[in-house]
């Protein structure tokens, strides 16, 4: 109703809506308690803040979605890391697309007795490194084998790990391509070389390097590899992998430090946007996820977050001692 109507002598009697009558009475009260000017301004500012927050949230969400869409590069990061470890242990050198050691092993494959192989417990050094995780790793690989896997070499990798650790996969061991560009070729061939090293001649140096590489693959690699492309587990997967690498220094300091240095250059998924998706990671407790939700809801997202999480090698221990992933939210 407009101001002219409010001055009408019989306006109150003409009104049919009770709320309009109350408003008119408030307008006529001394001090005009029904004045809406101040309230409108407060509502306007509130709506502006809500709109700004919604826009910021949408932008942050879109950036996170962009990273999720490019999750295929997650595997590429782990391939780069594995290549650096293969180079670090100096198992073999290659000047072309093929690795000579692998090529020779493939030629010899038809002459190898597939029913005669050496598992992890046949070497005391390997046994000491893998003793605490063997049963857990076998169980993990069996669970993943029940899922639909996008590539045959993923399945072969899981089966080889089970055989390496003394388990029984549903199928035997088969040769694969030894081309250097093939995904996980190094892992597959090194595991096979270890299993049949008594049937295929390798030097003492190659034997030592082979064991170093296989121990790293078994203890640090499988869980991180197979979970790395699942959006809700992005952040915790990277944190868990960093923890494994940090403690792997007790087993092989040079390999662990090389892996850490390589991996901290690719922490694109420890951003605040991706960390927010950890609220759907069921490995986190309900208490932690509740605290994350509160921090997200009451945070101030106006500040532009940096695209990549920056972590220095010397700061790794301090970072891992934080309450993660909670402390990542709002820190970028």
| SS3 track for 16-60 | CCHHHHHHHHHHHCCCCCCCCHHHHHHHHHHHHHHHHHHHHHHHH
Domain boundary among the residues 229, 256, 283 is at 229
Question: Do residues 221 and 239 share a domain?
Answer: no
Tell me, yes or no, whether 42 lies in a domain: no
Token pair 């598992």: residue: 119
Domain boundary among the residues 179, 196, 229 is at 229
Q: What is the model's pLDDT at position 186? A: 87
Tell me, yes or no, whether 18 lies in a domain: no
Question: Do residues 96 and 221 share a domain?
Answer: yes
Please give the Cα distance from 209 to 254 (Å, whole number).
12
Domain boundary among the residues 180, 198, 229 is at 229
Nearest Cα residue to 177 out of 258, 68, 102: 102
pLDDT of 304 higher than 90: no
Q: What is the model's pLDDT at position 17? A: 78
Average pLDDT over residues 110-124: 92
Question: Do residues 172 and 222 share a domain?
Answer: yes
Q: Is residue 325 reached through a cis peptide bond, with omega within 30 degrees of 0 on the bond before it?
A: yes
Please give the Cα distance from 151 to 187 (Å, whole number).
15
Question: Do residues 289 and 206 share a domain?
Answer: no
The model's confidence at residue 332, banded by pLDDT at 50, 70 and 90, is very low
Instruction: Please count the CA atoms within 13 angstroms of the CA of 149 that sit on its side-chain side.
Output: 18
- Report whether 145 contacts 137 (CB < 8 A): no
- Report whether 137 contacts 165 (CB < 8 A): yes
265-292 pLDDT, tens digit per residue, is 888 767 777 788 888 888 888 888 888 8
In terms of pLDDT, which residue wins out, 117 or 49? 117
Question: Do residues 250 and 313 share a domain?
Answer: yes
Question: Do residues 219 and 119 share a domain?
Answer: yes
Alpha carbon 119 to its chain's center: 30
Give me Rg for the CA atoms of the chain: 31
In terms of pLDDT, which residue wins out, 19 or 99? 99
Q: What is the model's pLDDT at position 23? A: 73
Tell me, yes or no, whether 9 lies in a domain: no
Q: What is the model's pLDDT at position 173? A: 64
Please give the Cα distance from 112 to 196 (Å, whole number).
8
- Which letter does DSSP use for residue 323 in this model? -
Question: Do residues 214 and 104 share a domain?
Answer: yes
Question: Do residues 81 and 222 share a domain?
Answer: yes
The domain of 307 spans: 234-332
Lowest mean pLDDT, pick from 79-83, 195-199, 200-204 = 79-83
Average pLDDT over residues 191-217: 94
- Report whether 215 contacts 89 (CB < 8 A): no
Q: Kindly state the helix (H) or strand (E) to which residue 202 belongs, with its residue range.
A: none
Do you know the residue count of the chain?
332
Q: What proportion of the chain, given as a percentage, has pLDDT over 90?
A: 32
Tell me, yes or no, whether 1 lies in a domain: no
Buried b (16+ CB within 10 A) or exposed e, 127-164: eebbeebbeebbebbbebbeeeeeeebbbbbbbbbbbb
Question: Do residues 184 and 241 share a domain?
Answer: no
Structure tokens, 320: 């891992």
Please give the Cα distance from 163 to 116 (Å, whole number).
12
Question: Do residues 222 and 242 share a domain?
Answer: no
228-253 pLDDT, tens digit per residue, is 777 778 788 889 999 999 999 999 99
Question: Do residues 140 and 264 share a domain?
Answer: no
Q: Which residues pair with 179 in a beta bridge?
A: 98
Tell me, yes or no, whether 196 lies in a domain: yes
Q: What is the model's pLDDT at position 331? A: 53
30-42 pLDDT, tens digit per residue, is 655 555 555 556 6
123-177 pLDDT, tens digit per residue, is 999 999 999 999 999 999 999 998 888 888 888 899 999 999 998 876 666 555 5
Q: What is the model's pLDDT at position 283? A: 86
Please give the Cα distance from 241 to 67 (Å, whole number).
19
Q: Which residues pair with 98 in a beta bridge?
A: 179
Question: Do residues 156 and 295 share a domain?
Answer: no
pLDDT of 183 higher than 50: yes
Q: What is the model's pLDDT at position 6? A: 46
Q: What is the model's pLDDT at position 13? A: 75
Tell me, yes or no, whether 320 lies in a domain: yes
Q: What is the model's pLDDT at position 1? A: 44
pLDDT of 306 higher than 70: no
Structure tokens, 155: 């399945």
Please give the Cα distance from 235 to 301 (Å, whole number).
19
Tell me, yes or no, whether 257 lies in a domain: yes
Domain count, the chain: 2
Tell me, yes or no, whether 260 lies in a domain: yes
């Amino acid at each position: 109703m407009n101001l002219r109507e409010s001055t009408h002598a019989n306006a109150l009697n003409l009104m049919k809506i009770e709320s309009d009558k109350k408003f008119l009475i408030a307008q006529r009260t001394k001090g005009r308690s029904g004045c809406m000017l101040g309230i409108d301004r407060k509502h306007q500012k509130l709506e502006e803040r809500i709109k700004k927050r919604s826009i910021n949230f949408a932008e942050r969400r879109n950036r996170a979605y962009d990273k999720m869409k490019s999750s295929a590069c997650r595997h590429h990061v782990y391939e780069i890391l594995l290549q650096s470890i293969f180079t670090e242990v100096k198992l073999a050198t290659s000047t072309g697309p093929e690795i000579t050691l692998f090529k020779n092993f493939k030629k010899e494959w038809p002459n190898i007795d597939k029913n005669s192989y050496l598992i992890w417990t046949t070497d005391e050094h390997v046994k000491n490194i893998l003793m605490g995780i063997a049963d857990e790793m076998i169980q993990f690989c069996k669970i993943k084998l029940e899922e639909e896997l996008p590539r045959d070499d993923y399945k072969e990798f899981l089966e080889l790990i089970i055989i390496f650790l003394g388990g029984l996969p549903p199928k035997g061991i088969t040769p694969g391509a030894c081309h250097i560009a093939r995904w996980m070729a190094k892992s597959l061939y090194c595991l096979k070389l270890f299993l049949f090293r008594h049937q295929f001649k390798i030097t003492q140096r190659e034997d030592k390097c082979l064991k170093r590489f296989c121990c790293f693959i078994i203890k640090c690699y499988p869980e991180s590899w197979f979970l790395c492309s699942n959006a809700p587990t992005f952040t915790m997967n990277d944190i868990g992998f960093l923890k494994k690498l940090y403690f792997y220094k007790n087993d092989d300091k040079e390999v662990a430090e090389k892996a850490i240095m390589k991996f901290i250059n690719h922490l694109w998924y420890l951003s605040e946007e991706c960390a927010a998706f950890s609220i759907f990671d069921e490995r986190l407790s309900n208490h932690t996820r509740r605290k994350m939700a509160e921090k997200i809801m009451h945070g101030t997202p106006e500040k532009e977050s940096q695209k990549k999480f920056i972590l220095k090698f010397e700061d790794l221990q301090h970072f891992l001692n934080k309450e993660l992933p909670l402390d990542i939210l709002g820190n970028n």
